[in-house]
Amino acid sequence: MRERLVRRWAREYGLPVLAMAGLIVLWEAVCRSARIPVWLLPSPVAIARDTWQWADRIPGHLWVTFYEIIGGFAVAVLVGVPIAVAIVYSPLLRRVVYPILLVVQSVPKVALAPLFLIWVGYGPRSNILVAAIVAFFPMVVNTATGLESVEPELLQLTDSLQASPLQVFWKVRLPWALPYIFSGMKVAMSLSVIGAVVGEFVGSDKGLGYLILTASSNMNTAIVFGVMLVLSALGIVVFWAVCVAEALVCPWYLPPQGERR
């Protein structure tokens, strides 16, 4: 039984893991044989060694970036969902708010980061704001799409039962939109990671983005790579957290095992 499980795992993941390992070995080999200077392209071993030496400094910065990401994400969700609701329920608001959103969306949001620096000052708060504004748009669009995708017959049914608008919202529209909201959250979370790091690039003395910036200005390329890896791991973890939340909140949405495409 256990042996079969191992074999299945090997068949499923064996090749990609092997390819990845091969690539790392190749990288190491090229760096050593071609004597590429460590500031240009550090070898995997050098990255691991140097990063390990910085290990005590990383957690503090990791924590700052983590809460900037979560803060930006939370603001995007808490502001984006109500705006989407307002847009769906009020044609007037839709006509007023939608063009504004489109204009805001078309501004390269990275360019807003220096502006936030002026408005709310240096530090995590302005980075949260950058993360939030980057993550906010997909939240609004996905939520609005979800609320509007309710099947018309279902609304005819609630009509015929003379359901109140609140009943329709809580019992039909919002749960119906949940899978859409979660797919918006997945995009928002990924964008929030980008926003937080961009914010840190522009102005911060904490966080993984700041760490990358300092390391690169010291030509400490191995650390740049190492922190980048930590950052990717963080990105994967927060994304995965949204996926887990989705599976818990709307289990009905996942196709049953064996039918998964």
Partner 1 sequence: MIAVRDVSKIFTTRAGDTVVAIENVTLDVGADEFVTIVGASGCGKSTLLKLIGGLIAPTTGQILLRGALVTRPSRDTGMVFQNPVLLPWRSVRDNILFPIEILGWPLREYRTEADRLIGLVGLRGFEHSIPRELSGGMQQRVSICRALIHDPPLLLMDEPFGALDAMTREELGMELLSVWSERRKTVVFVTHSIPEAILLADRVVVMASRPGRIVTSVAIALPRPRALEMEFQKEFEEYSKIIRSAIAAARTRVS
Query: Minimum distance from CB of 245 to partner 1 (Å)?
Result: 15
User: What are the angstrom distances between the C-alpha of 103 and each of 50, 97, 107, 144, 163?
Assistant: 45, 10, 7, 18, 37
Using CB under 8 A, count the residues that bind partner 1.
22
> In 3D, which of 58, 108, 60 has the Cα closest to residue 212?
58
Query: Minimum distance from CB of 57 to partner 1 (Å)?
Result: 46
Q: Rounded to an integer, what distance in angstroms lies between the CA atom of residue 226 and that of residue 58?
A: 10
Residues 35-54 that bind partner 1 (CB under 8 A): none
Q: From 84-92, 94-102, 146-154, 229-237, give the range in contact with partner 1 by CB under 8 A.
A: 146-154
Query: Minimum distance from CB of 137 to partner 1 (Å)?
Result: 27
Scan for tokens 């989705």, then name that residue. 246
Of 9 and 253, which has the nearer Cβ to partner 1? 253
Residues 167-206 that bind partner 1 (CB under 8 A): 167, 171-172, 175-176, 178
CA quadruple 81, 85, 90, 94: dihedral, nearest 10: 40
> In 3D, which of 196, 160, 174, 247 has the Cα closest to residue 75?
196
The reply on whether position 156 binds partner 1 by CB under 8 A is: yes
Query: Minimum distance from CB of 95 to partner 1 (Å)?
Result: 18
The reply on whether position 160 binds partner 1 by CB under 8 A is: yes
Backbone angles phi, psi at 185, to 5 degrees: -65, -35
**Could you list the residues that contact partner 1 (CB under 8 A)?**
151, 153-154, 156-163, 167, 171-172, 175-176, 178, 250, 252-253, 255-256
